[in-house]
Every structure is written in structure tokens, then in C-alpha cells.
Structure 1
């Protein structure tokens, strides 16, 4: 039984935020796609060492690399609690925090073409 002002929430999601595309951002200096890929690979290789569960890190990587609809499905299926709609701050069901840098979520506006 809830409070007088409480409402039933549709579906099984408690207070789940809907995943949205990250806002445009600019890297401190122009970088190539190869450099961006290297930064992303380094982050994902070391992410489990920041704490939390490897399975959640794997799900976050899959969500970050997927289109927005699939990302929402991945997050919901993994039980990830989205704090920031762009996935930059998330929690697992045990309360462990997962911070994702901008560069793993989207490309900067000042990316340069490689020759």
C-alpha cells in the first residue's frame, strides 16, 4: 500500500530514466578517429579496475556502442540504474557507481579526418 499521493508506475521500472543521446562536446584538442578509438579501448580495458561488476561494465560498453533504442534495452535488461540520461553516471542494483567519460559515449565535434 502506498501513500495517498503515490501512483503506480507503469511496467517494472522504478525510477528509470530514458536513455538519450549525449550533448555535443569538444575535445581539448582536435583528435582523429584512431586516437579516439585508442582512448576508448584503454578506458574499457581498465574500467573493471574502477570497481563494480565486470558484467555491468560489459553491458555499459554494449549500450555505449549501440543505437539509442538498443542501448535502452541493454540498460533495462542489465538492471542498470541510469542517473544521467546520457549514461555518464549509472549505478548497479547494489549501488556501485559507474562513471563513463564523454569520449566513450559520443564523438567530439572537433574530430579530424585522417589522410
Structure 2
């Protein structure tokens, strides 16, 4: 017998959480787009070494680079469970956690032009 407040659909609701754009954020010092790209490349090159499945990391990278609608389709089709709607915390179907820094998801408010 289940509790009156329980729901069998709870897991399904979590897995279909709708994505949203990350909130505005500020880098500790003004940064150029070239520097952001370098940080992103370094993150994506090393991320699979910290656990999880390479296929999920690849899907998260594709989603991070896509517009919100395509990103939603990517995470849904890859079976990614989005714990935070801005994609900073995600899980795969086996329970492995994937933490994404804001700099791979959006640009900071103090972005400066490359010289």
C-alpha cells in the first residue's frame, strides 16, 4: 500500500524537466571569447576522465552548444536526467552525476572583445 501523497510518476517528471537558459553570471575578471573557448575546450577534453559515460558527455557537449529546443531534444534522447533546469547538474540513467560549469553553457556578463 502506498502513501496517499506518493506518486509513481515522480521519476518521469524529473527526467522530463524543461531546460532553461542559465542565469546571468560574472567571471572573476573580464574575459575574452577566446579565453572562454579555451576554458570550454579544456573542460570537455578532461570531463570524461572524472567518471560517467563518454556518450553522455558527448550529448551534454552537443546540448550545451545548441539552442534550447535542440538541447532539450538531445538530453531527452540521450536519457539524461536534468536535475537543474540550466543543465549545471545532470545524471545518467545509471545515476552517474555530471556537473557542468556555467562557462560551458553561456557567456559571462563581463565578456570583452578579443583584441
Do both proteins adopt the same fold according to a TM-score greater than 0.5, normalized to the shorter chain?
yes
Aligned to 1:42: 42
Aligned to 2:99: 99
Determine helix, strand or coil for the equivalent of 1:14: helix
Give the structure-2-normalised TM-score: 0.90
Unaligned runs of 5+ in 1: none
Aligned to 1:83: 83
Q: Aligned partners of 1:34 and 1:85: how far apart in 2?
A: 27
Question: What is the aligned residue count?
Answer: 112
Aligned to 1:111: 111
Deviation at 1:6, TM superposition (A): 6.5
RMSD: 1.8
Unaligned runs of 5+ in 2: none
1:56 and 2:56 aligned: yes
Deviation at 1:114, TM superposition (A): 1.4
Give the structure-1-normalised TM-score: 0.90
